[in-house]
Structure 1
Amino acid sequence: MAYRVVIADDEKTSRSLFEYIINDAEDYKLEGSFPRAGEAADYCASHPTDLCIMDIVMRDGESGLDAAARIRKTSPDTKIVLVTSNVDPNSIRVARKIGVNSFWYKETSEEPLLTLIGRTMAGESIYPDNTPKIIIGNAPSTEFTNREYDVLRELVTGKSNRQIADTLAVSEETVKSHIQHMLDKTGYGNRVELSINAALYGLVTPGGGSERFD
């Protein structure tokens, strides 16, 4: 019997590609394809589903990580493969904590998605060894500290320094210091330019999930 598959990705091109891959494979049957993570989670909660392929960052700030956590609770037997163009290292940590089975980078993963899916359905859990490196301004993404990533995840949501400080339980001066360090590294002129480019290049996942770092 073919594995029942659900797809969630707000990018039509990516979603169509995943649909083609599943429809062209003998062992899989596409049961649903959605532009929103919540729709896929709702479907999995009410229909037997063997596999969910879920993008992490959706439109309007919707989180594939949050939807994956819902699926893990309501449909514990459903295998989950998270896919993303985003290079935020915290996404992998949160995915592991949630219990996501496998993780695949859209642009940089060497293993074909269908191969990874097959190994996942066979019981393997497959994660990349390293986070892809991108350049933002003058700085490679590997030069940012964990705490700078924490601040940046909140910054791209539009929060003020005070709001970021309250969220991370640090002082406002500490937040300002981290932002200044990131401006120095990237060469950007202000926090708005930093925020826009961090989101544009997929450096962070807005909101960033639940894990924090010292």
Structure 2
Amino acid sequence: MSHEESNAPIRVMIADDHPSMRMGLVALINQQPGMTVIAEASDGEEAIEVFEDTLPDVTLMDLRMPEMGGAEAILAIRKKFPEAKIIVLSTYDWDEDIHRALQSGAASYLLKDMPIEDIAETVKLVNEGDTSLPQSVAKRLELRSQRDQITERERDVLEALIKGRSNKEIASSLSISEETVKSHLKTLFAKLRVRDRTEAAIAAIRHGIVHLD
């Protein structure tokens, strides 16, 4: 998917479920010298189909979309097209989101409120094979690596806790004992460096470990 001619514009695809955001990005990218938007998608599944049809040079992919999210779409695209160059463009700089995006094969992670010049520069760099992250995003990822990792079962406990469930209700919903729930909570408090359930819930949301849908 590299250019035959060095002066050919970079062909960009934009995947975002908000029509107004998509329209704005299309207009801004088309105004940038040396790049043109050739395709759009409104969710993950459509992004996969449109990518296969158009084979863009670089894709700007939202992470949080209905039906199928950006991380799942990136995984599916890169499984079939390992050379695909995809940049996540998100509203959120939560460290778990950043980690998930990069794990799925994203080349970089940008925030929607970044200046268009910075976004365009990253599109150019990624098109050339660069996979560096903006400093602010790299910092969030570094913070995540310093925090002990949360297991899937601990995440389940956190999700139930955020919904206001008691230990007894959490135990029942996960088919584990109350003692096991208490043990998970003790471990979670230590990993998140918090003192109680309220602080744990706030930390889980702030880090993007659990999403409030």
Report the TM range for the smaller structure's normalisation.
0.5 to 0.7
Q: CA RMSD in A?
A: 4.0
Superposition map of 1:32-43 within 5 A: 32-43=39-50
Give the corresponding residue for 2:76: 70
What is the CA distance between 1:114 and its match in structure 2?
A: 0.7
Query: How much has 1:75 moved relative to structure 2?
Result: 2.2
Cα distance between partner residues in 2 of 1:49 and 1:163: 48
- Contact 2:39 2:54 (C-alpha < 8 Å) held by counterparts: no
The residue correspondences of 1:1-214 to structure 2 (distance < 5 A) are: 1-59=8-66, 62-107=68-113, 112-128=118-134, 129-131=138-140, 145-147=147-149, 151-152=154-155, 155-156=158-159, 161-162=170-171, 171-177=180-186, 188=198, 194=201, 203-204=207-208, 206=210
For residues 163 and 30 of structure 1, what CA distance do their matches in structure 2 show?
Answer: 50
1:133-192 Cα distance to aligned partner (Å, 9 max, x none): xxxxxxxx98x94445864577448797459978xxxx4333333566769658839x8x
How far has the Cα of 1:64 moved from its partner? 0.8
Indicate the structure (1 or 2) with the bigger Cα radius of gyration.
2
Structure 1's 156 and 106: CA in aligned 2 closer, same or farther, altered over 3 A?
farther
TM-score normalised to the size of structure 1? 0.66
Q: Kindly indicate whether the alpha-carbon contact (under 8 Å) linking 1:165 and 1:175 is maintained by their aligned counterparts in 2.
A: no
Question: What percent identity do the matched residue pairs reach?
Answer: 18
Q: Is the 8 A contact 1:8 1:15 kept in 2?
A: yes
Aligned CA distance change for structure 1 residues 87 and 153 (closer, same or farther; 3 Å): farther
**Relative contact order higher in (CA < 8 Å, ≥ 6 apart):** 1
Using the alignment, how far apart are the partners of 1:146 and 1:163 within structure 2?
A: 27
Against the structure 1 CA distance between its residues 42 and 111, is the aligned structure 2 distance closer, same or farther, given a 3 Å change threshold? same
Consecutive unaligned residues in structure 1, runs of 5 or more: 133-140, 208-214
